[in-house]
Amino acid sequence: MFSPENTSSKIGEALAYWESKRAGRRMPARADIDPGEIRSLLPHVILLDIAHDPLDFRYRLIGTVIEEHLLNDLSGKWMSKIPHQRPPSRIWTNCRAVVETRAPLQSDTPYVGSKRDFVVSQDILMPLSDDDGDVNMLFVVVDYLRKDTLSSAP
């Protein structure tokens, strides 16, 4: 659930951008997302392709900030093939929820990675659809928060 009072500025910016691209529809299409309009967000972006029947998610694009925090390169990989991400993992459950509800989902996850000064990652998963019905891609923005910025995060 999105909680603006406890959300990083990157996550808030991402949701505002997604909302602006809806243009009266339930959700924007991938073609509505213009990288030139979100330069400050690009290092924090993940694009996930969606396969249906069976449901699966493939990493199409991973921003540079996210790559710095990952232990492995996930580009082109399907979540079902990644042991800690396949069902019933939290990330899988969140992705499935966005596909089913066709609505954004914001979450905080304790940070697990090589950079000791980070304690939490915030993310927002936002659906994209070419026909405003079936979700065919997820537009994800992730922000990593350090211990010293938690109390000052908007």
In the predicted structure, residue 152 carries a pLDDT above the cut 50: no
**38 within some domain:** yes
In the predicted structure, residue 132 carries a pLDDT above the cut 80: yes
**154 within some domain:** no
Q: Give the total number of structural domains in the chain.
A: 1
Radius of gyration of the chain (CA): 15
Global confidence as pTM: 0.89
pLDDT score for 62: 96
pLDDT score for 38: 97
**133 within some domain:** yes
**pLDDT-derived band of residue 90, with 50, 70 and 90 as boundaries?**
very high
**83 within some domain:** yes
Q: What is the mean pLDDT of the chain?
A: 89
**123 within some domain:** yes
**pLDDT-derived band of residue 153, with 50, 70 and 90 as boundaries?**
very low
**13 within some domain:** yes
The model's pLDDT over 42-61, given as tens digits with 9 standing for 90+, comes to: 999 999 999 999 999 999 99
pLDDT score for 2: 44
pLDDT score for 109: 76
Nearest Cα to Cα of residue 103 among 144, 66, 64, 139: 139
- How many residues does the structure list for the chain? 154
Element counts in the chain: helices (H) and strands (E) = 3, 5
CATH of the domain at 46: 3.30.450.20
Q: Enumerate residues 6+ apart whose C-beta is below 8 A from 2.
A: 15, 104, 105, 106, 124
- Residue 60, domain extent: 4-149
Mean pLDDT (whole number) for 28-54: 97
Torsion of CA 140, 116, 109, 91, to 10 degrees: 60
**90 within some domain:** yes
Mean pLDDT (whole number) for 12-39: 96
